[in-house]
Amino acid sequence: MATPTQIDQVAERTERLLLRYRELQRTNKLLTEQVASLEQERDSLKSRLGAARARIDALLERLPDAGPPPAVRAAPRKDTP
């Protein structure tokens, strides 16, 4: 079996590099799609949170002013006759 020539070695390494490059391109594409999906989900959740806050604020506005909280009376002690 003949030893690979320097050109054969370079060609083999080039092929491996090209394969790795294609794999990284596919991985990058998948990750980019995942980031876009997560950004869309985040934006949707932020929108829903804003709507929920607006509804809570509207409900709080409808509550009547209660004034100061009622005084808490102490419970009678059991050791007094």
75: left (phi > 0), else alpha (psi -120 to 50), else beta?
beta
Pick the more confident residue, 47 or 67.
Answer: 47
Record the tokens describing residue 17, joined without a space: 């590099």
Pick the more confident residue, 68 or 42.
Answer: 42
Residue 32 has pLDDT above 60, yes or no: yes
Residue 13 has pLDDT above 90, yes or no: yes
The pLDDT, as a whole number, for residue 31 is 98
Query: Taking the domains of the chain in order of start, what are their residue ranges?
Result: 8-42
- Beta strand segments in the chain, E: none
Residue type, 5: T
Nearest-5° angle of CA 12, CA 29, CA 13? 10
Pick the more confident residue, 3 or 39.
Answer: 39
Q: Which residue matches tokens 């794999």?
A: 23
pTM of whole model > 0.95?
Answer: no
